[in-house]
A and B are shown apart, each in its own frame.
Chain A
Amino acid sequence: MKEFKGRVIAPGTVTAEAVVSHSGFNTLASFQGALQFGDKKATCGDQNNADLHGKALAGKALCLPQTIGSTTGGLVIYCACAMERQPACMLFSKPIDSLAAAGSILASVWLDGISMPVVDSLGDEFLDYVQHGMTITVKDGGVVCVE
């Protein structure tokens, strides 16, 4: 078990199974098919992401460096939250990017009863250590336990 400390972007606590992207996470490419065609598991559709392509994202602890790609990214996260197909939490090794931050903030301000803890700046070591299938616990204050 290893503990990491980051910065809280959206508060909350949760325990979930890790899915890990070592490259930039393209939000639109990952979620668009799943949200459009009723895939409740939100299977990652990004053909360019060898780590995540074909893996379920809904309810998982999504570990990533940052998001990339289309500026629809934030609203895609917002829609995923509204449709309850969002990851259990989003954990960034780097400082969060503007699109992921927007999605997380929009969901917390405009949607009722949605919880998706978001922590950023966990460091490169976090992404080196965490692997698919590990159990992640997000605690208060930006503490993330990986086991």
Chain B
Amino acid sequence: MYLTPEQQAILNGSQGETMAKVWKTLVMYGEAFGADKMVPVTSTYNHLVTSFGLKMMKPVFDLMQQLIDAGAVSQQQFSVDPRPVDKNVPANFLQNFIFKKIMYATQEQYEGQLKQLGLMDKDAFTCACYLDQMGNKPQKGEVLSWAESSAVVYANSVLGARCNRNSGIMDIMGSIAGFVPNFGLLTDEGRKATWVVKVQCKQKPEAQLLGSAIGMKVMEDVPYVMGMESWLGTELNDENCAYLKDFGAATASNGAVGLYHIANLTPEAKELGELLIAQGAQEYIIDDAELERVKKNYPVMWKNPDAKPKLCFVGCPHMSLQQLIDWTVAVEKGLKESGNKKVLIPTVFTTAPGVKKEFEKTEYAERLEKTGIILSYICPLMYMNNPLCKSMPVMTSSNKLRTYTTARYYTEAEILTKITKGGN
């Protein structure tokens, strides 16, 4: 890989041993993928995946401290994934004890490290930092050093920014150096589609299910998705962006997709059309039967598959403002139809702190509260990652949450029926 004389000097130790190790890490990372050079990070902000002061992460905290002590802090401010704990989310005495005293006992200390390294502000905790209310929305063509699989795939696909699927820690290394290696999704060639996905469903496919099917099939490749125009149209409005947010998160967690193109909708597909499809691309046809097959193959991890759900999570990744409003209206309608006043299963909607603040200014906040639904900024995945929650029958409309925890996946319509009308 070509390095400028200045970059080579830093690698050789001109700015100290720690900065030399930061550069060595990035150069080795680039060389593993045939990068030709280092390119400047051009986004205003970074986004990190490690938001949780989990005890098992001690080696990461030690490394972060090493960076801070050496003055090797981020050249950009950053947002970070959601906080793992929120007192408003239902938890019994034992669960609270485990969260605060055992699992996330180092949360406060770690947040102190994040501040020193360049955290944007005390509320910059969300997996959906690109939502308008959060202030970290990169522009088309900007080069990022982000991590968080759902954010990376959104930034690349919906916003047209350029970012590889960086790991936690590697994300901040790029921000400290101000450069990232030029390979993969940063290059025109790496952004070409090696799969053509033809959607032939009779009705609009569930975003999280379609994303799951595609992720499992293409793994880390780039899919070019056709056949969505009758449902999504050709404009990236709020509804479509929310759909693509959930779709992308499923492609990235059930597979390893970092970029997708939707014909006539996402920015590069609109500009370049089928020129984006690489020669020899493979084909995957998805119809209703295929989606049903994928859904049926999800393992049910509840001890008793017929148990009544004890908790429901909607909002992984975090919900947009429009999604919160739409869900509020839908829940009210469902409750009215069933003659119930409040939801029948404890339900938590999760969203970004900035979105929560905006939502609370609207009339819908009070209406949602009346339904009994709790609104939180928590990361449901972090909430679920302990033996007590693992044994609870929890349901979700998130395919990401299903993948990493024992939560059981249902479509949004199924969730709505269960929480407003009952039934296992």
Contact = CB atoms under 8 A, between A and B. Distances in A.
Given A47-B299, A74-B170, A67 B256 contact: yes
Q: Which interface residue of A33, A70, A83, A97 has the most chain B CB atoms within 10 A?
A: A70
A139 to B, nearest CB: 20
Interface in A16-71: 24, 26, 28-29, 32-33, 35-37, 47-48, 65-71
A24 B148 CA distance: 18
B404 A105 contact: no
Nearest to B25: A109
A72 B253 CA distance: 11
A98 B164 contact: yes
Contact of A68 (B49, B60, B171, B220): B220
Given A36-B54, A82-B59, A110-B21, A74 B299 contact: no
Contacts of A69: 149, 252-254, 256, 403-404
Majority SS of interface residues in chain B?
helix
Which of B32, B58, B167 has the largest count of A CB atoms less than 10 A from its CB? B167
Interface residues of A, number: 40
Given A24-B219, A47-B301, A97-B256, A36 B49 contact: no
A68 B63 contact: no
Q: How large is the interface on B (under 10, 10 to 19, 20 to 34, 35 or more residues)?
A: 35 or more
Interface of A: 9, 24, 26, 28-29, 32-33, 35-37, 47-48, 65-75, 78-79, 82-83, 96-99, 101-103, 105-106, 108-111
28 contacts: A29-B403, A29-B404, A33-B385, A36-B54, A36-B55, A36-B386, A37-B387, A48-B403, A66-B219, A68-B215, A69-B252, A69-B403, A69-B404, A70-B404, A71-B147, A74-B167, A74-B170, A78-B63, A97-B165, A97-B256, A98-B29, A98-B167, A102-B166, A105-B32, A106-B167, A106-B170, A109-B21, A110-B21
